[in-house]
Amino acid sequence: LFHCYAIYHGYQWVVIDISTNITLQKLCPHKNFLFQRHCVTAELMKEMTAEWILFIDADTTVINPNRLIEEWIDKNYNMIFYLRIRFFEITAGVYLARNNPYSRNFLHFWADYEHRLPNSVHNHDNGALHVGHLKCLIFSKKKFVWKSRYEDVSSYEACIQYLLGPKKSWPGKIKILGKPKGMTRDAPITKSLWGRRDFLIHGWKKKLIGSAWLGKNPFYPHNFDINLCSTNNVMLNWPYKPQMFKTDKKIEKILNRTIKFVNRRYDRRVKILVLKALGVRDERKSLHTTHLLYV
């Protein structure tokens, strides 16, 4: 569907198989693909004429082709990320990057964090993205040491969110869109129900379509026809089931319920982390926190 969307709106669509590209393998010799892909993106950007690049995970698809990528572009920034609704994290799998030295350098910096991961649970490129934001935006002039010891990744993510502060925008550098303003959201939140304001949905795995986790398929079975993508009949490739389309009010209600629940968890987690940092004993012995040390 993304290829069709790109054809219809005149966007350049690029899919890279790194395993068959010797040049990119040499330029980006990372062992972990989750880091390597950001290096590859930076290298490809050097050869592109496009001003902006939308990077997407393989399990992200277009639910509403009537929305345009430009709606999320803010020319006051060079990279645009967003907060996931269900978690405390900044999403690593979908972002906008302006094709300039700042963005390419940031992507290389992020990819090279593969070599600086702590010897513990780190959540790969997502964990590195969080500490990378701290290094580039908050503690750029300080020696920064990343050590983590926590029972769950969410404690680490909550700590980073707290340190970044509520605004999360740095003109000329990075902007992190708040909930639910990102260009993508997780499909399971609404069990694949969607509305007019939606654009991309994440978590779209074929084996999970129709499951209790992902919900019913919002499309009728059909034969995808790439030839329709450049015609006025393009919407035949999006044969929606009408019962899966809901009003803005309905979708907003579901999303806000999840956001409020996650925000309560975040507030509680941050309070625990702050108390631990102050040396206040926490009765919850099972909680292990993240330690961010800088001198």
% of the chain surpassing 90 pLDDT: 61
**pLDDT exceeds cutoff 60 at 291:** no
% of the chain surpassing 70 pLDDT: 84
E-state strands within 70-142: 79-82, 94-98
What's the DSSP call for residue 283? S
pLDDT at 139: 54
Q: Could you tell me the pLDDT band of residue 212, with boundaries at 50, 70 and 90? A: confident
pTM: 0.86
Q: Could you tell me the pLDDT band of residue 41, with boundaries at 50, 70 and 90? A: very high
**pLDDT exceeds cutoff 80 at 34:** yes
pLDDT at 189: 95
Q: From edge to edge, which strands make up the β-sheet containing 200-202?
A: 60-62, 200-202, 184-186
8 A C-beta contact, residue 59 and residue 202? yes
**pLDDT exceeds cutoff 90 at 159:** no
**pLDDT exceeds cutoff 90 at 236:** yes
pLDDT at 288: 46
**pLDDT exceeds cutoff 60 at 190:** yes
The SS3 call for residue 145 is strand
8 A C-beta contact, residue 97 and residue 82? no
Average pLDDT, the chain: 86
What's the domain count of the chain?
Answer: 1
C-alpha span between 260 and 86 (Å, rounded): 10
Which of 144-158, 199-213, 228-242, 278-292 is the least confident region?
278-292
Domain extent, residue 242, equals: 2-294
Q: Looking at residues 167-196, what average pLDDT do you find? A: 94
- Of 130, 144, 162, give the one whose Cα is nearest residue 266: 162
CATH value at residue 262: 3.90.550.10
